[in-house]
Amino acid sequence: MRSIGQSAVKLKGLPMLGIWIVITIAGVYLVFAGFLFIFQSHYIYYPERVLSVTPHSIGLQFESVSFETTDGVQLSGWFVPSKSARGVILFCHGNAGNISHRLDSIQIFHQLGLDVFIFDYRGYGQSEGKPTEQGTYKDAEAAWRYLIEERQVKPNEVIIFGRSLGGAVASWLAQSHTPGALILESTFTSLPDIAAGLYPYLPVRLLLRFEYNTAEYLGRVDCPVLIVHSRDDEIMPFDNGQKLFESAKEPKKFLETTGTHNNGFITSGKRYEDGLHTFISQR
């Protein structure tokens, strides 16, 4: 039989054990929060340098383009002409890969009778530098300037298109100019909003150094707006698309699609293409 004295000694040790558990958990929490703060750009940008294919792979003619930002960064892109163009798509892609991973979209826009100008942000594909939030904005501004000044495209002939993170970049660009239209696909309201949903146990709004405040930029856009979003989007919740629609001024339209974040525009097929066609024709 255990003595009362032995039990008392063991009970006295329990509070200390609890303290060490709390300290350990707090330490892990702080380490993870610190890691997220220091390396957060690695969670946002996933660039690839190698261009795996070109528009020639799907039978389209194209021109490789180089242009420079105001801070001296050389960027690269493709200009894909259409025989009977009724406008130009200025394509701001998402946070992963590079322009060579967007051939499906390029083909759809080409079939809709649109020229396509797609470019890589700094640090992506053959573009110089490393990606940053302000850098992506400067890159989009340089792409706009290239179309207007070098290609002599009229502003109202440019349709700015942004998918995912590219939607934030596209909205930022559209607020400062007068494009013919703005199309946002599978886009978030802001990066802190998305991060708070992914890491509800962390003070991400305090930790994040990035904003990409799509909803705020969109509220200052003065052109027809189309919001495209899927209820099946597993990365950007559907309510982000709804909130963006609420933020946009008239005239505006909402196109609900099906399918995942990266493939919804493909799986939605005719519904997606018809929705784009109707919006572009009526803008």
Q: Are 247 and 219 in contact (CB under 8 A)?
A: yes
Domain count, the chain: 2
What is the full DSSP assignment across 81-127? --TT-S-EEEEE--SEE-GGG-HHHHHHHHHTT-EEEEEPPTTSTT-
Shared domain for 114 and 18, answered yes or no, is no
Cα angle value 116/228/49 (rounded, 5°): 50
DSSP alpha helices (H): ranges in 125-263? 133-145, 165-174, 191-198, 204-207, 214-218, 238-247
Q: pTM to 2 decimals? A: 0.89
Shared domain for 15 and 127, answered yes or no, is no
At 153 the pLDDT is 98
Selected residue with higher pLDDT from 66 and 18: 66
- Asked if the model's pLDDT at residue 164 lies above 50, the reply is yes
- Asked if the model's pLDDT at residue 24 lies above 80, the reply is no
Q: What is the pLDDT of residues 85-134, one digit of tens each?
A: 899 999 999 999 999 999 999 999 999 999 999 999 999 999 999 999 99
260, amino acid identity: T
Domain with residue 86: its CATH number is 3.40.50.1820
Q: CA torsion sign, 41 to 43 to 44 to 47?
A: positive
At 231 the pLDDT is 97
Shared domain for 102 and 159, answered yes or no, is yes
Shared domain for 263 and 163, answered yes or no, is yes
Task: Show the domain range for 263.
Answer: 47-282
Q: What is the pLDDT of residues 194-203, one digit of tens each?
A: 988 887 877 7
